[in-house]
Structure 1
Amino acid sequence: MAYDAEDTRRRIFEAAAAEFAEHGLAGARVERIATAARANKQAIYLYFGGKEQLFAAVLRAKMAEVQVSVSVDPDAVAESVGQLFDWYQEHPELIRLLLWEALEAGGGLGEGEEERRGAFREKVRHLVDGGVGEGLPEERRVRAGQDLLFTLMGLIAWNFAVPGMCRMMLDEETERAALARRRETVIRTARALAAGAA
C-alpha cells in the first residue's frame, strides 16, 4: 500500500486538535500526537514545522470551520445565535483551544491574528450593513457592531467554557439539561440585544 501523505496530515491534524484541546500547547506532547495519529514524529515536523505551528494551524482551521459553517445574519440574529450555540455544542474543542491560547499566549500577537481580525471585521461589516447602529455616525456604527458581535460570542462561549458551573448554577442534574435551558435564554437575550443595537 502506497504512503498517503494527505491522509497522514489529516490524522495528525485530528490527533493534534484533541491533544491541544485536552492539554493546551505547553502540556501537549508530540509523542502522544504521533501515537494517536499512527504517524511518526518526523512527519509532524515535516508537515507542520513544530508543536507551536501545529497548534496555530489547528486553531486557524477550527476558526475557519465555524466561520464557514455559521454566519450572523443581521436580519435573524437570534436564529444565527442558536445555530452558533449548536455548532459550539457539537465542537467544544474550539472554546478549549481559545482558552488555552489566552492562557498560554500571554496576550502577545499570535500567528494568524491579522487573518482572524479580518474575518471579524467582515462579520461586523455585515451587521452594520444590515442595520446595526443605524442613524449613528459610521465609526459608532462599527463600534456598535463590534460590541454586539463580541457580546453575542461571549453569551455563547461561556456556556461551553464552564459547563460544570453552568449545570451547578442552574441547578440542573445534567449538563445537557443546563445547555438546553441556556440555549433558549441566549437566543432570547440575543433577540433583545439585536433589537437594541438596531
Structure 2
Amino acid sequence: MPYDAEDTRRRIFTAAAAEFAERGLAGARVDRIATAARANKQAIYLYYGGKEKLFAAVLGAKLEEVSVSLSFDPDAVAESVGQIFDWYQQHPELIRLLLWEALEGGDESDESERTRRDGFRAKAHRLVDAGAARHLPEEARLRAAQDLLFTLMGLIAWNFAVPRMCRLTLDEDTDQAAIARRRETVVETARALATAVPGS
C-alpha cells in the first residue's frame, strides 16, 4: 500500500489536538502524538516543523472551524450566541486549547495573531454596519462593538472553561443540567446586551 501523506498529516493533526487539549503545549509529548497517530516523529517535524508550530496549527484550524461553521449574525445576536454556545458544547477542546494558549503562550505577535485580529475586527465592523452603537460618535462605534463581541464571547466560553464551578454555583446535580440552564440564560443575556447597545 503506497504512503499517503495527507492521511498521515490528518492522523498527526487529530492526535495532536487531543494531546494538546489534555496536556497543553508544555505537557504534550511528540512521541505520544506520533504513537497515537501511528506515524514517526520525523513526519511531525517534516509536516509541522515542531511542537510549537503544531500547536499553533491545531489552534488555528480549530478557530477556523468555528468561524466557518458558524456566522455571527448582527441582526440576530441572541440566536447566533445560542448556536455558538451549542458548538462549544460539542467541541470542548477549543476552550481547553485557548486556555492552554493563555497559560503557556508567549507575548510575541505572529501571523496567526494578525489573522485572528482581522477576523474579530471584521465581526465588529459587521455589528457597526448593522447599526450597533449608532448613538455614539463614529470613531467610538467600532470600540463599542468590539466590547460587545468580547463580552458575548466571555459569556459563552466561561461555561465550558469551568464546568464544575458552573454546576456548583448553580447548585445543579450534573454538569449537563447546569449547562442547559446556562444556555438559556446566556441567550437571554445576549439579547439584553445587544438591545442595550442602541441600534443593535
TM-score (norm 1): 0.97
Which range moves more in the overlay, 131-140 or 40-49? 131-140
Residues 101-153 of structure 1 deviation map (CA, whole Å, 9 limit, x = unaligned): 01001444255100100010111111111111113222211011100000000
The corresponding residue for 2:118 is 118
CA distance in 2, matches of 1:64, 1:123: 14
The corresponding residue for 2:63 is 63
CA distance in 2, matches of 1:83, 1:68: 13
CA distance in 2, matches of 1:128, 1:192: 17
**Matched residue of 1:112: which SS?**
helix
CA distance in 1, matches of 2:158, 2:111: 24
The corresponding residue for 2:176 is 176
Pick closer, same or farther for the CA change 1:31–1:154 going to 2, 3 Å: same
Given that residues 15 and 33 in structure 1 are in contact (C-alpha distance below 8 angstroms), is that contact kept between their aligned partners in structure 2?
A: yes
CA distance in 2, matches of 1:159, 1:75: 24
The corresponding residue for 2:17 is 17
Q: Kindly report the root-mean-square deviation, in angstroms, between the aligned alpha carbons of the 2 structures.
A: 1.0
Given that residues 77 and 191 in structure 1 are in contact (C-alpha distance below 8 angstroms), is that contact kept between their aligned partners in structure 2?
A: yes
Extract unaligned runs of 5+ from structure 2.
none
Given that residues 59 and 97 in structure 1 are in contact (C-alpha distance below 8 angstroms), is that contact kept between their aligned partners in structure 2?
A: yes
CA distance in 1, matches of 2:110, 2:168: 34
Q: How is 1:36-185 mapped onto 2 (pairs within 5 angstroms)?
A: 36-110=36-110, 112-185=112-185
The corresponding residue for 2:33 is 33
Extract unaligned runs of 5+ from structure 1.
none
CA distance in 2, matches of 1:92, 1:171: 22
The corresponding residue for 1:192 is 192
CA distance in 2, matches of 1:110, 1:15: 24
CA distance in 2, matches of 1:10, 1:105: 24
Greater than 4 Å deviation, 4+ residue runs = none
**Matched residue of 1:116: which SS?**
helix
Given that residues 12 and 37 in structure 1 are in contact (C-alpha distance below 8 angstroms), is that contact kept between their aligned partners in structure 2?
A: yes
Given that residues 81 and 152 in structure 1 are in contact (C-alpha distance below 8 angstroms), is that contact kept between their aligned partners in structure 2?
A: yes
Pick closer, same or farther for the CA change 1:111–1:29 going to 2, 3 Å: farther
**Matched residue of 2:63: which SS?**
helix
Residues 171-195 of structure 1 deviation map (CA, whole Å, 9 limit, x = unaligned): 1111111000000000000000000
**Matched residue of 2:133: which SS?**
coil
CA distance in 1, matches of 2:180, 2:35: 36
Q: Percent identity?
A: 75
Residues 67-102 of structure 1 deviation map (CA, whole Å, 9 limit, x = unaligned): 111121111000000000000000111111011001
